Structure 1
Amino acid sequence: MRPYILAETNWKQIQETRFDLAILPWGATEAHNFHLPYATDVIEADFIAAESARLAWEKGAKIIVLPTIPFGVNTGQTDILLDINLYPSTQLAILGDIIEVLNRQGIHKLLILNSHGGNDFRWMLRELGVRYPDMLLATCSWFAVLDKSKYFDEPKGDHADEMETSLLLHFRPDLVTPLDQTGDGTARQWTIQGMREGWAWAERRWSEVTADTGIGNPKKATAEKGKRYFEDVTEKISGLLVELAAADRSKLYE
């Protein structure tokens, strides 16, 4: 029983505990090429949140990890079988309910640990921050924390790529099919220059961009690469958890 994981604790154990920070991992349920499970983003969120919290807890941070939300924004994948979509407005409603509970019970800091590229919580936290001015609301995406090029041979992918495949080989190799059976994750590029350069944006229609639902070649993935990346990213995130838990709401700027 890990006291910083809400799903594993009980009321007797935690009712006298004062928590300074709640962590809400948020994933997605979607196809990940031919070789990774639909729950890839959820599994990554579970492992990374738990290990980051363990490291922070051992440094004295009073934190609690809430259960991972398994569905994310998949509006560009409506024709891919069983990719489960939550609209951003639905996410806003869910977040609002959770924050209401935390605020009422005296836990005034929340970090959303995002595990899915289609999720964007910043605008939601702007709105909810006005409703709950006593709350410190933050978000980070674990996949944006480190420079992938220092860990992987093909760092340009962003879905079922070498990084995600390496992590799943480390976390749950039983759920990864042989890499010689997977697609190569080739993605078609925008014909519109501003989109190609990244300073303009429109949602990608996934089935028109990729034939195997992956973006990025996974074939050089190894469990060893995943382990190294996992250790470094959780160490980095744990530092954020420690700082957030200790932060004085009235002294956030210098």
Structure 2
Amino acid sequence: MRPYILAENNWKDLKNADFELAVLPWGATEAHNYHLPYSTDVIEADHIAAESARLAWDEGAKVIVLPTIPFGVNTGQPDIYLDINLNPSTQYAILKDVITVLNRQGIHKLVIFNSHGGNNFKPLVRELGLEFPDMFLCVTDWFKSLDKKLFFDEDGDHADELETSLILHLKPELVLPLDEAGPGDERKSKIKALTEDWAWAERPWSQVTDDTGIGNPKKASAEKGQKYFKAVTKKFARFFIELSQANKDNLYE
């Protein structure tokens, strides 16, 4: 039993608990090329959030990790079999209910630990922040927290070398041999502006990729995954420690 994981604890342990920070991992259930499981984003969220919390807990941070939400926004993938979509309005309703409980029970700091590129929590947090002025609400994307080029050779953003390496480290029994993986080739938009940072349109996934992956996974390894996992959890642990100890009403100099 890990005292910083809500799902593993019981009422006897928690009835007199006093946490400063809650972490809500949020993943997705979707195809990840031919070789990775549909639960890839959930596995990553579970393990990275838990290990980060362990490191922070060992340094005295009063942090609790909530159960991972397993479904995310997959509006661009309606034709991909069993990619489960939550609309942003549904995410808003779930998030509001979770925040309501935390706020009522005196846990006034929440980190949304995002593990899926299709999730966009910023507009939701802006709106909920007005409704819950006593709450500190924060969104993080673990996959943006480090320079991937320091760890991996191939670029990508879905079932790529990074994700494949992580799952090879965390759940190797769920990974097919890499010679069965697709190349993860991505078709770029013919509209120049949509290939730049200032214009955006949702990508119809089956028009962009043949194997549901974006990024070549063939150079992935468990060793690379382990190195990245250690670095990313160390970085998040430091963040959890600082936020747990911080005065949420006095965060600026």
Please report the TM-score for the alignment, with normalisation by the length of structure 2.
0.99
Aligned to 2:220: 221
Partner residue in 2 for 1:119: 119
Distance across 1 between alignment mates of 2:196 and 2:101: 42
Q: CA RMSD in A?
A: 0.5
1:142 counterpart residue number: 142
What secondary structure is seen at the aligned counterpart in 2 of 1:129? helix
Tell me which moved more, 196-205 or 71-80. Answer: 196-205
Deviation at 1:250, TM superposition (A): 1.8
SS class of match (1:158): strand
Residues 175-254 of structure 1 correspond to what in structure 2 (within 5 A)?
Answer: 175-254=174-253
Number of the residue aligned with 2:53: 53
- Tell me the residue number matched to 2:29: 29
Matching residue of 1:172? 171
CA distances 1:125-177 after superposition (whole Å, capped 9, x unpaired): 110000000000001000000000000010x2000000000000000000000
Aligned mates of 1:152, 1:227 — CA distance in 2: 12
Query: What is the identity, as a one-letter code, of the residue corresponding to 1:191?
Result: K
Q: Which residue of 1 aligns with 2:133?
A: 133
Measure the CA separation in 2 of the matches of 1:198 and 1:127. 24
State the secondary structure of the residue aligned to 1:137.
strand
Paired AA for residue 39 in structure 1: S
Alignment coverage as a number of residue pairs = 253
**CA-to-partner distance for each residue in 1:64-101, whole Å, 9 max, x for gaps?**
00000000000000000000000000000000000000
Q: CA deviation at 1:199?
A: 1.6
Structure 1: runs of 5+ lacking an equivalent: none
Structure 1 distance, partners of 2:68, 2:104, is 21
Deviates more, 1:75-84 or 1:197-206: 197-206
- Kindly provide the CA deviation profile for residues 11-48 of structure 1, in whole angstroms up to 9, marking residues without a partner as x: 10111111000000000000000000000000000000
CA distance in 1, matches of 2:241, 2:123: 25
Deviation at 1:196, TM superposition (A): 0.9
Gaps spanning 5+ residues in structure 2: where?
A: none
Q: Distance in 2 between matches of 1:77 and 1:244?
A: 36
CA distance in 1, matches of 2:77, 2:132: 33
Distance between the aligned counterparts of 1:157 and 1:58, measured in 2?
34
Deviation at 1:107, TM superposition (A): 0.4
CA shift for structure 1 position 248: 0.4
Give the structure-1-normalised TM-score: 0.99
> In structure 1, what is the equivalent of residue 107 of structure 2?
107
Which residue does the alignment assign to 2:80? Answer: 80
CA distance in 1, matches of 2:194, 2:228: 29
Q: CA deviation at 1:197?
A: 1.8
More displaced stretch, 58-67 vs 243-252: 243-252
Structure 1 segments of 4 or more deviating over 2 A?
none
Return the offset for 1:198.
Answer: 2.3
Partners of 1:4 and 1:229 lie apart in 2 by: 22
